[in-house]
Structures are given as structure tokens and as C-alpha cells.
Structure 1
Amino acid sequence: MRRTTTCLLAACVLLLAGWVWAPAASACSCVGGTTAEHVERADVVFSGRLLSREVAGGSSSSDPALHVFAVETVWKGTAASEQGVVSAASGASCGLELDGDGPFLVFATTAPDLPTGQLAAGLCGGTARLAADLTSEVAAATGRGPEEPGPGAVGTDLVGGPSGWAVWVGAVVATLTVAALAVTGELRRRRAPGCAHRAPGYRR
């Protein structure tokens, strides 16, 4: 049992290590999706022009990049007149790749680890330059017309987050910790005395 457990843990370490040390520049691969699917997966959908883009760090394609949009219309969820949207710095890490100031149709999500009101978006989420046919598809998917954005600026301050390296290391440590606890629990269970007891006077 111990030898089998050791081999399994070693295999997990090698597999996770391969993920950690994988080339950072490997291309992002997006699975195609319809506009309706992008709308369904997004928490917020809005159109607007890109006001600014700022990258924290800049040494890795996965460093956070903050995009601040002047929101014109909101199709799903809520967004402020100036709305911050964070993504990876490069398309190699599935970050937004926007040419010019737009206008763009942005499909964004919320996340508990982001600053209050800030949204997240990525290369594969459907964000694209605004076009009439795309707007019609969004209207059909949401079943409502465009609404005005909320007042003020929300999530427009760039907060430096952990690099992709730190995230992967944290994931490895957490995964190995869970695996070790599971194995320890299994060993203790197997070593525990049996629960079945013979009744008095029992004979084989």
C-alpha cells in the first residue's frame, strides 16, 4: 500500500511540475462559441470605447492588464460609465487583444478576488469590435434592449496580482496538500481495528 501510494504521489508531482514549467508563451487555444453562448456565460455585457490600458509588471504574458472603458450601453448585468475590466496582458495567456479604441462589445465576468466592481474578460469570451449583426444577436439572446450605464467610475484602479508563476505554484501546493491528507486518512482507516465483533458463544 505504501509503495503504491508513493508512486501515485510521485506521478502527481511530475504531472503538476510539467504544468508549472510549461512554456509561458504557448498560444491560447479558444473553443468556438456562438454569441448566445457568450452572453449566457457572461455576467455583464456592454458596449463602449477603450479609454486606457495599463499592465502591472510586464514581465509575463499572464500579468494583469487593466482596460478602462467608457460604457455606452449595457445589455446584461450592470456596468459604470467608466468601467474597469482586467485580463491577462497578452493573447498568449488568453488576454484581451483590442485594436484601437473601438467601440467594442465586451463580455465580462465577476470574480470574488477582484477589487470591488472590477470585471474580468478574456480572449475566448466573445469580446469583439462592435458590429450591427453582433448587437442584434446580443439583443436576441438577452431578450431586452440596451440600458444606460450606472454613474461614476468603478474598478479603474490597477491592483497588482500574483504572477502566473505564483498562481501555478500555489495550485501545486494546494493539490499536493489535499492528496497527502487523503492518503493519510486512507492509511489510518485501513489500520483502524475492524468494526465487526463476534457475538458471545460464537463458534466456527
Structure 2
Amino acid sequence: MKKAKLFFLFIFIGMFLLGSFPAVTSACSCAELPTAESELERSKAVFSGKVLDIKDRNANGYMTKSVIFEVTNTWKGVEESQVIITTGEGGGDCGYPFIEGQEYLVYAIESDMYGGKSLVTIICDRTNKLSTLQNDLEVLGEGEPPTKKVDLSSTQNQTEFYIWIAGFLAIVVALTIFLLNKQAKTDK
């Protein structure tokens, strides 16, 4: 009976681990880029800023990038001095290829496209290097500097911390079960 319980426990853990890493596929096809006016209207956030940090993430089976920006100017939806934008890895998932240290004009929508609800931008948006979007800046007019000073660098590492804690706890539970079963066998 105990062997059956142990067997089912290992099956359950194995199925849980297999189900935690599903294969996700996607494809990206963009029509013509919208105008700056229509993109401003459609977007939840429009700002210019410099990329401070880029982290790879696994959100609900999607490989994504979490990008922290130091906001220079804002036209819509952002009051903070730093903001996190989510995008895909690139290629078929529409992710934008941000480069750390570069300045961008970002048009972002609120979406759950890459897992949890967050500000998202993709290659089909007008987001691009700031130096290439001078026409957009003329249409947008003068932006406002952010009004709330924040530091989001610590939030980038929280997920990794929780993954380590969960892994450690799983090992402790498995080791405890193993030792209890071993002790039960020696008591017989």
C-alpha cells in the first residue's frame, strides 16, 4: 500500500512538472503601421525613455522579456520615473528587440498577451528607437516629465527569488517523504 502511495506521489509530481512547461507556439503578422495619432489614441501608455534592464521571463508557458525603462517624457498613461514593459522574445511572437542603454519612444497597450496583464508593446506597434521617430515627436508635441520617482529594479528579481524558494521547498518535501518511507520500512 505504501509503495502504491509513493508511486502515485511520484506520478503526481512528474505530471505537475511536465505540465509546468507547456510548449507554446505563436506567429506574428503585422499590417501597415498605424499613424502616430491613431497609435496615441489606441495606446494605454506613450512615453520616451532609456532601457535600464532586460530580463527573460517564463509567464504561463510564454517566454517573454520584462524591460525596465527610465522615463524621460510621457504623453499618456505613465506618471512614474520608471516603468516595466513586457514584450516577446522576438520572431514569431511579435516581441520587440529592445537593447539595453538605447532610448525609445514606446507605445504600449494593457494586455495579457504574454501571460499576466501588463503594459505590452510588439513589433506591430509604432515603438522604435527615439532617434528614428522625429515625425512622431512632432505629432505628439512636447511631453511631460514623470511626476513620481520610483525604483523598479528590485521588482525584476522577485520572480527568480520565488522560484528558488519553491524549488527548495519541493526538495525538502520530497526528502521528508523519502526519509519517512525509509523509516517506516526499517520499523517493520
TM range (shorter): 0.5 to 0.7
Rounded Cα–Cα distance in structure 1 between residues aligned with 2:51 and 2:87: 14
1:101 paired with 2:118, answer no
Rounded Cα–Cα distance in structure 1 between residues aligned with 2:151 and 2:66: 12
Match of 2:146 among 125, 145, 149: 149
SS in 1 for 2:58: coil
Residue type at the aligned position of 2:64: P
1:137 alignment counterpart: 136
Residue type at the aligned position of 1:92: G
CA RMSD of aligned residues (A): 3.2
Contact 1:28 1:93 in 2 (8 A): yes
Residue type at the aligned position of 1:146: G
**Bigger mean CA deviation after superposition, 68-77 or 49-58:** 49-58
Rounded Cα–Cα distance in structure 1 between residues aligned with 2:129 and 2:111: 24
Deviation at 1:155, TM superposition (A): 6.4
Rounded Cα–Cα distance in structure 1 between residues aligned with 2:78 and 2:30: 26
1:37 paired with 2:38, answer yes
Structure-1-length-normalised TM-score? 0.53
Deviation at 1:29, TM superposition (A): 1.5
Deviation at 1:48, TM superposition (A): 0.7
Distance 1:23 1:149, change over 3 A: closer
1:56 alignment counterpart: 57
Rounded Cα–Cα distance in structure 2 between residues aligned with 1:70 and 1:23: 31
Which is higher, the Rg of structure 1 or of structure 2?
Answer: 1
**Aligned-residue identity in percent:** 25
Rounded Cα–Cα distance in structure 1 between residues aligned with 2:126 and 2:29: 13
Deviation at 1:150, TM superposition (A): 2.9
2:180 alignment counterpart: none
Structure-2-length-normalised TM-score? 0.57
Contact 1:45 1:105 in 2 (8 A): yes
Distance 1:139 1:101, change over 3 A: same
Rounded Cα–Cα distance in structure 2 between residues aligned with 1:73 and 1:136: 16
Deviation at 1:100, TM superposition (A): 4.5
Contact 1:81 1:152 in 2 (8 A): yes
Deviation at 1:79, TM superposition (A): 3.8
Deviation at 1:99, TM superposition (A): 3.5
Residue type at the aligned position of 2:39: H
Matches within 5 A, 1:109-128: 109-111=109-111, 113-114=116-117, 118-128=118-128
Distance 1:153 1:123, change over 3 A: farther
Distance 1:152 1:97, change over 3 A: same
Contact 2:54 2:67 in 1 (8 A): yes
Deviation at 1:49, TM superposition (A): 0.7
Rounded Cα–Cα distance in structure 1 between residues aligned with 2:98 and 2:146: 21
Structure 2 runs not aligned, ≥5 long? 1-22, 160-188
Deviation at 1:74, TM superposition (A): 0.7
Matches within 5 A, 1:5-44: 24=25, 27-33=27-33, 34-44=35-45
